[in-house]
Amino acid sequence: MTWFVVAKHAEVYEELKKHAIVLNSDVKWLKSKGDLAENTEKGLVFLTVTRDDSMEDLYEELRTFSDSGQGIPILIDLEGQVDIRKAIRAGAYDVLPYPVSIETMKETVKEAGRLLMQEKAEPKLEAPKQAASDKKARIITVCSTKGGVGKTTFTVNLAAAFAKQRKKVAVVDLDLQFGDVAMFFDCKPKKTIYEWVKEEYYGQPEKLSGYMHSANEYIDIMAAPIRPEFSEVILEEHVQKLADYLRPHYDVVLFDTAPYVEGNILTALEKSDDIFLVTFLDLPTLKNCKIFIDTLESLALVNKAKIVLNRDSKKRGMNKETAEEVLGMKIHTRIPDLEKVVVTSVNEGNPFVYSYPRAKISKVMYSLAQDFFGKPEKKKKRSLFAKKVVNEGGLV
């Protein structure tokens, strides 16, 4: 792998050259962006940025460079001038402060190098998809107005309840800065929604299989980006197209969201067939929940909304009726307060629907899933004689 260092100053080039040698990479010094334009070899391109550079021109150059397919651009910020969000949106793979530690460089080069190899590889033909196109997933968005109300716990256990019905479920983590869906399933996806946008969206955006992590036979996850600043790359158009591409291949698409309202979440809400708003018996939480309901009403989405009262228990001065009066809506589902069960399942990375199938809280989730698809068909019981014949290989 070759590094192309675009730098006016020799000392910057020499510093990066040391890292390249340690990481077993070739390195070439290009003294201007004009030299880069004449380069035909593909590699990692390190662009140094100083106070003299126009940031708007830089971002425009990044957009042009990204479209050219000449390599993977990485910015070296010499004087703290770069707006990381704008740079990544414009097409930079990463922005590194100068001087760069060998640990930071190693991590960045490893991931960027993997992306470079994918770009160099010949495009592979995918096997034709079969009757998956006959499906039309029900899209459900789960939201809240406050962190810690149990929104993600609700999402992953609803997914597990659907999976118990043998429904194919996609869970998309739209808490793009600090999403935890993968952790709740004890998964470590290698790729996230960020990689899908950067690697495939402007080429073959329908290629989702490499970016959906299989949690089990029935549940696939599209994880949130691994770094908060990568969230800026994800735009409303990406969420809209993602919903469209997932819908034909799943029975249910679940969007787990951040505890606030922004463009991507509004897009998910608009694409949804159902919206679950998770709250609990706490006056400030209920007040903010009411504001959210008013927002949904202004967007003509309130008819899709269902209120989920989490951690439902007797509290002094607060009950279900009080909550409904504050919200101006009936509560659809009440989740009992079984803290020990929930905390244990989160710590184990195993939804309580799986780990505590007979618990009251799990039965509520089963009931909710059945509201959508009815009760699952029960397997026919075989007679003891039939089982014996099967075991002996006498029955096909």
pTM of the entire structure?
Answer: 0.68
Q: Where are the beta strands (DSSP E) in the chain?
A: 2-6, 26-30, 43-49, 71-77, 94-97, 138-143, 169-174, 213-214, 219-222, 252-257, 274-279, 305-312, 331-336
Question: What is the dihedral angle through the alpha carbons of 372, 271, 203, 191, rounded to the nearest 10 degrees?
Answer: -60
The CB density around residue 283, as the number of other CB atoms within 10 Å, is 12
Provide the sign of the torsion angle of the four alpha carbons 356, 360, 364, 366, taken in this order. positive
Span 3-36, pLDDT tens digits: 989 888 889 999 999 999 999 999 999 888 777 7
* Domain edges within the chain: 2-120, 131-373
Tokens 């691994």 — which residue? 226
- The stretches in the chain having pLDDT less than 70 are 66-69, 119-135, 315-317, 376-396
C-alpha–C-alpha distance, residues 276 and 3, integer Å: 49
Span 285-330, pLDDT tens digits: 999 999 999 999 988 899 999 999 999 887 656 888 889 999 999 9
Q: Which CATH architecture has domain 2-120?
A: 3-Layer(aba) Sandwich (3.40)
- Report the chain's mean pLDDT, rounded to a whole number: 86
Closest CA to 211 of 198, 200, 201, 222: 222
C-alpha–C-alpha distance, residues 328 and 344, integer Å: 34
Q: What is the pLDDT of residue 67?
A: 64
What residues does 279 pair with on adjacent strands? 309
Span 350-386, pLDDT tens digits: 999 999 999 999 999 999 999 998 776 655 555 444 4
Q: Do domains 2-120 and 131-373 have the same CATH topology?
A: yes
CATH 3.30.428.10 is held by the domain 131-373: no
Lookup: tokens for 166: 């043998």
